[in-house]
Copies of this chain bind each other. A is one copy, B any other.
Amino acid sequence: MQAEIIAVGSELLTPARLDTNSLWLTQQLNELGIELVMKMVVGDERERLAAAVRAALERTPLLLVSGGLGPTEDDVTREAVAQALGRPLVFVPELLEASERRFRSAHRVMAEINRRQAFLIEGAEALPNEVGTAPGQWIRQGERAVVLLPGPPGELKPMFSRHVLPRLAPLVPPLVIRTRVYRVTGLAESDLDQRISPVYKRYANPATTVLAAPGDIQVHLRARCSSQQEAEALLEELGGQIEALLGDRIYSRGEPMEKVVGELLRARSATLAVAESCTGGLLAERITSIPGSSDYFLGGFLVYNDRTKIALAGVPGELLERHGAVSEPVACALAEGACRRTGATYALAVTGVAGPGGGSRTAPVGTVYIAVAGPEGVEARCFRFLGDRERVRGFAAQTALDALRRRLLVSSRAPAAAPPQPR
């Protein structure tokens, strides 16, 4: 089966914005064995959008339209698709009531304009929006199907997964697709590819894709077979070789680092605190982005100058004077202070120069010390990250979490009383 995607929104036709929903949707379609043959971006113009919808449905049996379902005048998707299909819009009182309930539960009054979102194209099924106010729509036209989805990714994704996938699956012949993801840190993309490409290039199936973000590379394997056993066997064959080549640089099968570290802490009934200088809260923000993280994360310190490093985290002033804030002894003192003052089993500390200013000869921009304190003692390492402020902070947070992951893996192999294992 073939599909097209139309992203609606004049802002997506400006030099500063891209339609990224289509990437995620493509992935979802591909996993069902549906091929994307064209995608389009159309502005908030009803006539033009109606023409694009009509043309797409003439050549392709499945059309996904994202965006333009909001309450305002420039949200024209409902009207345009109705026009393209030659069907009227129908007011559905239940949708209005649901929307009013939603506003009431937030102690707000629903603006009259939200009535627009209570209109369905005749014959459409409403797709519930658990996150926002605009419902989606699922419309069959003979053998064809049109799906209207809200533009915000946080609304589009759950709606597609919960309400569109189950409706699409019966329309396509079963093709078994099994994927495996390895998430890797501590290697540059080119180094990783040099290691594993001689292996994965021997396989057309599974197909291998390498996606790189700062400090976080994903290796995707994707097997397409007629049976699940066959697909699993292929993944196991290629995956086993990749695991052997990358070892403990692989930190998960898809979960983010903060989840992996959280699970290791939980399994050990251990707790965590942080003391952040240059990451300024990013490390804690990542840790606490995981629901239930209060089971192991206690809190910590944001220490953005010398005074707070001393007053909050208890770093001795003479250590700062002698070594400077961006140094191994200060990183260690921050981690120990966070452990001591919060009572946590482990603590992570980050101190460095995120830039663009603040660099010096001994600590140029990108220099970051990361310390881990725990029952086995405290240890700091120096890193030099390349890139702008955001990238340096991102690398620093990821590397700090990885340092804790490695410490926890070692500590599980050696009881706390034994001397630390050489690594």
Q: Which residues of A contact B (CB under 8 A)?
A: 10-11, 13-16, 18, 20, 23-24, 26-27, 30, 36-45, 48, 51-52, 55, 59, 70-74, 102, 105-108, 110-114, 131-133, 152, 154, 188-191, 193-194, 197, 201, 209-212, 220, 273-274, 276, 279-289, 291-294, 297-305, 307-308, 311-312, 341-343, 355-358, 366, 384, 386-391, 393
Chain B hits for A212, CB < 8 A = 70, 152
Give the docked Cα–Cα distance between A110 and B343 (Å).
43
Question: What is the CB-to-nearest-CB distance from A145 to chain B, in angstroms, rounded to a whole number?
Answer: 19
Q: A285 and B285: CB pair below 8 A?
A: yes
Give the docked Cα–Cα distance between A48 and B56 (Å).
11
Given A111-B190, A114-B190, A152-B212, 9 more A-B residue pairs with CB atoms under 8 Å apart are A15-B27, A39-B40, A71-B190, A73-B201, A102-B386, A111-B191, A273-B308, A291-B355, A298-B304
Q: A299 and B291: CB pair below 8 A?
A: no
Q: B312 and A304: CB pair below 8 A?
A: no
Q: B27 and A38: CB pair below 8 A?
A: no
- Of B24, B74, B289, B292, which contacts A209 at CB under 8 A? B74
Q: A38 and B42: CB pair below 8 A?
A: yes
Q: B51 and A112: CB pair below 8 A?
A: no
Known contacts A299-B303, A305-B298, A312-B299: A70-B154 contact under CB 8 Å:
no
Question: What is the CB-to-nearest-CB distance from A395 to chain B, in angstroms, rounded to a whole number?
Answer: 11
By secondary structure, the A interface counts as mixed
Q: A298 and B308: CB pair below 8 A?
A: yes
Q: A72 and B13: CB pair below 8 A?
A: no
Q: A189 and B299: CB pair below 8 A?
A: no
- Of B16, B41, B70, which contacts A39 at CB under 8 A? B41
Q: A289 and B24: CB pair below 8 A?
A: no
Give the docked Cα–Cα distance between A188 and B133 (Å).
11
Chain B hits for A387, CB < 8 A = 131-132, 154
Give the docked Cα–Cα distance between A156 and B131 (Å).
41
Chain B hits for A11, CB < 8 A = 209, 211, 220
- Please name the residue on chain B nearest to A52 by beta carbon: B38
- What are some 22 contacts across the A-B interface (CB < 8 A)? A11-B211, A15-B23, A15-B24, A18-B18, A38-B52, A70-B190, A73-B197, A106-B386, A108-B188, A112-B194, A131-B387, A273-B308, A274-B281, A276-B281, A281-B286, A282-B285, A294-B358, A299-B302, A299-B304, A299-B308, A301-B301, A307-B342
Q: A304 and B280: CB pair below 8 A?
A: no
Chain B hits for A366, CB < 8 A = 106
Question: What is the CB-to-nearest-CB distance from A17 to chain B, in angstroms, rounded to a whole number?
Answer: 8
- Of B72, B209, B286, B390, which contacts A190 at CB under 8 A? B72
Question: What is the CB-to-nearest-CB distance from A310 to chain B, in angstroms, rounded to a whole number?
Answer: 11
Question: What is the CB-to-nearest-CB distance from A125 to chain B, in angstroms, rounded to a whole number?
Answer: 24
Question: What is the CB-to-nearest-CB distance from A285 to chain B, in angstroms, rounded to a whole number?
Answer: 4
8 A-B pairs with least C-beta separation:
A280-B288, A281-B284, A281-B281, A299-B308, A281-B285, A15-B27, A299-B302, A111-B190
- Of B13, B194, B312, B391, which contacts A37 at CB under 8 A? B13
Question: What is the CB-to-nearest-CB distance from A101 to chain B, in angstroms, rounded to a whole number?
Answer: 12
Q: A154 and B305: CB pair below 8 A?
A: no
Give the docked Cα–Cα distance between A114 and B193 (Å).
11
Give the docked Cα–Cα distance between A185 and B19 (Å).
24
- Of B15, B24, B107, B312, which contacts A342 at CB under 8 A? B312
Give the docked Cα–Cα distance between A287 and B276 (Å).
13
- Of B16, B70, B311, B312, which contacts A189 at CB under 8 A? B70
Give the docked Cα–Cα distance between A37 and B44 (Å).
9
Chain B hits for A303, CB < 8 A = 299
Question: What is the CB-to-nearest-CB distance from A151 to chain B, in angstroms, rounded to a whole number?
Answer: 10
Give the docked Cα–Cα distance between A276 and B356 (Å).
26
